[in-house]
Amino acid sequence: MRIDGLTDNVSSVLVVQEVKMPQAESVRHIDTEDVRVTEWRMEPGASTGLHRHDCDFVIVPLTDGTLRNIVAGGVKMVTITPGKAFLRKAPLEHDAFNAGDAPLAFVEVELLKSTPR
């Protein structure tokens, strides 16, 4: 008897491999009661991990690149360019991935005393 191309005297084993995405690297430069400044560096495919922002924050790109943000309701692609900062409003829960084929880097400035609107 054959089952999915195997004879009945051959046992099949399903091997599930956990695919580990590379993690983004972060360096905290400033951390006060007013502001937190973190530099992020991401290899292709790297992720920040799912996290939540409870305050507004500014992203200052250091390199060109494309971020894939997984957010409630879908996926948002964001192209970053050095020197072209942008503001994100809280609350925001997301996971950011480097969707490009080159390393990317940016500085995140969290405005800790801002409140969600």
Question: In order of start, what are the domains of the chain with their CATH numbers?
Answer: 21-111 (2.60.120.10)
Find out whether 102 and 65 touch, Cβ atoms under 8 Å.
yes
CA distance 39 to 57: 13
pLDDT per position as a tens digit, 4-58? 444 444 444 444 445 567 899 999 999 999 999 999 999 999 999 999 999 999 9
pLDDT per position as a tens digit, 65-91? 999 999 988 999 999 999 999 999 999
Strand ranges inside 1-117, DSSP E? 2-3, 6-7, 25-31, 35-42, 51-53, 57-61, 65-71, 74-80, 86-88, 92-98, 104-111
Q: How many CB atoms lie within 10 A of CB 78?
A: 15
Residue 85 belongs to what H/E stretch?
A: none
